[in-house]
Chains A and B, each alone.
Chain A
């Protein structure tokens, strides 16, 4: 097969009109004496004729309208994209300012000046006082819970007392509820 490959390539080039007269003559001489290459020549020539005779296919109607609609959509996006970019930058800037400004004020100590302002200063003081009140309340509540949990885990007797108290309390509640329900049942008609 390898010996035929140069001639197969020459057949391909011949179909494209790229062989000179001498090469064409050499190819034709070989093809006349070689059944394998004659077969290749026949098959490639048939293909060549069929492919050359295949016409162009037409696009569907309204093809141009479809292209122009895509272009319109692209142009709209292109027009709007700077505004979207500006919007994104504004969002980022506002995020940076809202986080960075309080930090900067605190670090630089400028926040003290804010408290000296006539109206804003008193509101800020009140707000800060409320925040510290809530903070200390939460701290006390959490501290009590943590103290209790620490006591219960450290002392098994205390844990037993608490569990017993919970059992007694739930029993007592159950009994009370039962007593409330009993008169109602006795009054109901049989």
Chain B
């Protein structure tokens, strides 16, 4: 137990390995938001993101004995989620999903907020961000999401995506270059509007 009386991730993992499933529920409660955000940013569809996030937790549960307690549980979990999403996006390409038909926005991006004006700006910005992300290849998208939403270093991203730091450096550069080209071409005009309004 830590000083605040809350079990650490490693303690919870040990309890799960001893057969305590409630300990895993605690881990899910703690990390559901980052895992879901990652799967949504990667897949762009709320239902698919929920399914992928749940699958990531299930895979973590199945392979919990492979978890190295000296590493961060969150990083390990996000690694599982990001690699699963990359595989899923590659398979999705084979199913001829039309990129001309945009996926439905996340409910929280369209829901009513206390301040409708702020909500609208946030919603527009998030939609533009999601459209930009969806223009990237799965590997590039994962690098951008992990860099910006999880503030991970090149080394951490490389470890999570099972590649080298120089590959991540290249992916982030190429991804930014592609996104910048789209912004310049006017594909993200809402993005600029939102930025100017903010």
CB-based nearest A residue for B35: A59
CB-based nearest A residue for B132: A47
Report how many residues on chain A are interfacial, defined by Cβ distance under 8 Å: 35
CB pair B58 A67 closer than 8 Å: yes
Identify which of A15, A51, A70 gathers the most chain B CB atoms within 10 Å of its CB. Answer: A51
Residues of A with C-beta under 8 A to B17:
none
CB pair A13 B53 closer than 8 Å: no
CB pair A66 B180 closer than 8 Å: no
CB pair B24 A57 closer than 8 Å: no
Q: Is the interface of A mostly helix, strand, loop or mixed?
A: helix
CB pair A63 B36 closer than 8 Å: yes
Chain A nearest CB from B67 CB (Å) reads 16
Of the 9-residue stretches A38-46, A96-104, A107-115, A153-161, which lies at the interface with chain B?
A38-46
Chain B: interface size category: 35 or more
- Bound CA span A46–B183, Å: 9
Q: Is the interface of B mostly helix, strand, loop or mixed?
A: helix
CB pair B33 A50 closer than 8 Å: no
- Bound CA span A182–B180, Å: 101
CB pair A64 B129 closer than 8 Å: no
Could you list which residues of chain A lie within 8 angstroms of chain B, going by C-beta atoms? 8-9, 11-13, 15-16, 18, 39-40, 43-44, 46-47, 49-60, 63-64, 66-68, 70-71, 74-75
The 6 lowest CB-CB distance pairs between A and B, nearest first, are A59-B36, A43-B180, A12-B173, A51-B148, A56-B37, A67-B57
Known: A56-B34, A59-B50. 17 other contacts (CB 8 A): A12-B177, A15-B176, A44-B176, A50-B191, A51-B129, A53-B125, A54-B148, A57-B126, A59-B36, A59-B53, A63-B28, A63-B50, A63-B54, A64-B28, A67-B25, A70-B57, A71-B24
